Amino acid sequence: MKKFFSIFIQKIKPRFLEPHPRETASPSLFNYKSFWIGSINLLTIVTVVPLFILSMINLNLTREAINKENSLRTIRLTSNARRTVTFFLKERLDAMRFVLQNERLETLKDPEDLASILESLQIGFGSTLDLGVLDESGLQINYVGPFDLTGKSYTDRKWFKECVKNGSSVSDVFLGYRQIPHTIISVKSEVNNSFVILRATLDIKKFVQILSSIDLSEKSDAFIVNREGYLQTPSKYYGNIFEKVTIPLPEYSESSRVFTFEDQSGRKVMAGYAFIEDSPYILMLVKQSTDIMQSWFAVRKEIIFFFILSAVVLFLIILRITTFMVNKVYEADQTRLDAMERLAQSSRLISIGRLAAGVAHEINNPLAIINENAGLIKDLFVYKKQYEPGHRLMGLIDTVLESVDRCGQITRQLLAFARDFKPKIQSLHINKIVSEVLIFLKKEAVYRDIKIDVDIPEDLPVIHSDHGSLQQIFLNLINNAFQAMEDGGHLEIKAARKNENQILVSVKDDGCGISEEEQKKIFEPFYTSKGTKGGTGLGLSITFGLVKKLDGEIYLESKPGQGAKFSIILPLRPKGDNQDENLTG
């Protein structure tokens, strides 16, 4: 896991954050960091934002669907409960109408007969506590029940007036003599241009029973209020019976409906309601929003989880792809800059070379004059007797001649450096060339006890190149290594096939090494680290130029005190060589 994590970190870590080996800061096409961050931001926005919007839409749609489902469920439950309550009342009213229709007035006025009817109603329908018969003045002319209410007048009672007006009525729930919540239902029947009213007292236990049988959760509540908002049945959360409920009363509707409101605690509440037909009752079914939205919360949790998961996965993919792309741009840019740097270096070297060649030519003629005149002075001292050959004078002339010789060497190398020769291409064996070069240096190696190891495989392919140039390249490099090494040093010359078209030859010494600062200038003409040892500072410049002319590359790896390794990559065939060595020879 740790390994996987570390590999992943490597994959998403942009390469441009690591220090580049190139010391000199070259102008770059891009600000990679801002390009990288900008790309990540842009891609993240164009992918995560639509995902976020879709998730939000999904959330809203789901919430609406759940809301709708809850509303429908509440309406359905309310309707079912209303049907039950309505049926309960209608059943009893119809039973009483049946009694009024089928029994004679005398029977109704007879207490025993009325008691018999009450008994039948109690057996048939239950919940009927008493039964009374009222004349048109509202006087109760007959009564059977637990109290003695015969002769009691109900003229001013609301239910009586409604019954007279509508033919039947259901009263609000009240305590009355019984001190238990009950309601009165009554029906009217016309008799000989007059009417009688049959009234019954109903226990509301049945209502409570109906309401408690509704399938509701713990936090939901079902109750009945009258049109003024007074509770007709007990409520769990909105007050005791006969108290006014703390929720807004809905407008009249024939069908079951829902509405939402905020309760006293500020919580969102959904209420289903239904007006009970031919009664003052409103059936209410109230659900807390937390209860209603329980399923919504679960869905929301899932949607948010998948959104976060998707966003994280998308971000990681974006990070990986962006890093990959920016790395590619960075590498291409670095390659371009490297090429430009090499080109600039080559151009600089060529310019310096041309300038140097011009200077060398101009210097060679006066040098020749100094050389010949100083030589003549020496000759005169040596060969002519009239001139006294003073020891000091001879020493001075020798110094002049040595200096001229040294200047001559410099100018000759300068000219060689600038010489625009055309390579003579022929088939060559690298080991043969190295052997030829080592012959020149063998004596010095023996004298200085320098160990030379040559590792060039026999099967190394033949290279098509310029013999003289290769000799000079290896001579310069090996000579350079000799000068860098102390006596008893170790030189390694290796060659190997690099790929199908190139070979790699390296010359490695264990000498003093070259500092990074020196490495930057090592191929420039006249740059020498040999101080007063007599280096012209042209050997490596010439080598560089020759390698370039042979379509090769030269690299240096070195650290101060750890020797230096020059690696030359040479093509098996130079560019433009048509494989026919005779043509180029």
Partner 1 sequence: MKILLVDDEEKFISSLAERLEIRGIDSDWATCGDEAISKVKENSYDVAVLDIKMPGLSGLELKGKLETIDEKLKFIFVTGHGSEEDYVAGCKEGCFYIIKPFKIDDLVEKLKETMAF
Q: Which stretch binds partner 1 (CB under 8 A): 38-46, 281-289, 308-316, 418-426?
A: 418-426
Q: Give least dist CB 475 to partner 1, A.
A: 18
Q: Give least dist CB 376 to partner 1, A.
A: 4
- For partner 1, give the closer residue by CB, 173 or 407: 407
- For partner 1, give the closer residue by CB, 180 or 382: 382
Q: Is 317 in the site for partner 1 (CB under 8 A)?
A: no
- d(CA 47, CA 9) in angstroms, rounded, equals 22
Q: Is 424 in the site for partner 1 (CB under 8 A)?
A: no
CB 543 within 8 A of CB 476: yes
Q: Six-digit token pair at 132?
A: 């009374």
Q: Give least dist CB 417 to partner 1, A.
A: 10
Q: Give least dist CB 396 to partner 1, A.
A: 17
Q: CA 159 → CA 118, 166, 335, 463, 548, distances in Å?
A: 20, 10, 101, 124, 119
Per CB under 8 A, the list member of 179, 365, 386, 532 interacting with partner 1 is: 365
- For partner 1, give the closer residue by CB, 384 or 443: 384
Per CB under 8 A, the list member of 419, 424, 432, 451 interacting with partner 1 is: 419
- For partner 1, give the closer residue by CB, 34 or 373: 373
Q: Which stretch binds partner 1 (CB under 8 A): 117-125, 315-323, 357-365, 506-514?
A: 357-365
Q: Give least dist CB 351 to partner 1, A.
A: 17
Count of residues engaged in binding partner 1, rule: CB under 8 A? 30
Q: Is 336 in the site for partner 1 (CB under 8 A)?
A: no
CB 171 within 8 A of CB 183: yes
Q: Give least dist CB 406 to partner 1, A.
A: 11
Q: Is 421 in the site for partner 1 (CB under 8 A)?
A: yes
Per CB under 8 A, the list member of 138, 167, 176, 408 interacting with partner 1 is: 408
Angle, CA 93 vertex, CA 92 and CA 97 arms, to 5° = 115
Q: Give least dist CB 387 to partner 1, A.
A: 12
- For partner 1, give the closer residue by CB, 230 or 381: 381
Q: Give least dist CB 538 to partner 1, A.
A: 13
- For partner 1, give the closer residue by CB, 81 or 546: 546
CB 63 within 8 A of CB 289: no
Place of tokens 């005398």: 106
Q: Give least dist CB 466 to partner 1, A.
A: 14
Q: Is 422 in the site for partner 1 (CB under 8 A)?
A: yes
Q: Which stretch binds partner 1 (CB under 8 A): 52-60, 259-267, 362-370, 533-541?
A: 362-370
Residues 495-524 within binding reach of partner 1 (CB under 8 A): none
Helix (H, G, I), strand (E, B) or coil at 264: coil
- For partner 1, give the closer residue by CB, 372 or 444: 372
Counting Cα atoms < 13 Å in the Cβ hemisphere of 322 gives 20
How far does CA 504 lie from the centroid of its chain?
A: 45
Per CB under 8 A, the list member of 94, 119, 331, 420 interacting with partner 1 is: 420
Q: CA 488 → CA 27, 160, 440, 448, 479, distances in Å?
A: 45, 135, 18, 6, 15
- d(CA 29, CA 101) in angstroms, rounded, equals 105
- Other CB atoms closer than 10 Å to residue 82's CB: what's the count? 24
Q: Which residues pair with 409 in a beta bridge?
A: none
Counting Cα atoms < 13 Å in the Cβ hemisphere of 366 gives 5
Please name the residues in contact with 23: beta carbons below 8 A apart, sequence gap of 6 or more: 516, 520
- For partner 1, give the closer residue by CB, 209 or 399: 399
Q: CA 444 → CA 93, 353, 450, 473, distances in Å?
A: 136, 30, 8, 18
Closest CA to 118 of 105, 133, 135: 133
Q: Is 542 in the site for partner 1 (CB under 8 A)?
A: no
Closest CA to 380 of 370, 388, 391: 388
Give me the amino acid identity at 168. Answer: S
Please name the residues in contact with 472: beta carbons below 8 A apart, sequence gap of 6 or more: 542, 543, 546
Q: Is 425 in the site for partner 1 (CB under 8 A)?
A: no
What track of x and - describes contact with partner 1 for positions 366 through 405 (by CB under 8 A)?
-xxxxxxx-xx--xx--xx-------------------xx
Cα Rg, the chain, nearest whole Å: 58
Q: Give least dist CB 580 to partner 1, A.
A: 22
Per CB under 8 A, the list member of 141, 394, 400, 415 interacting with partner 1 is: 415
Residues at the site binding partner 1, with contacts judged by CB under 8 A: 357, 360-362, 364-365, 367-373, 375-376, 379-380, 383-384, 404-405, 407-408, 412, 415-416, 419-422
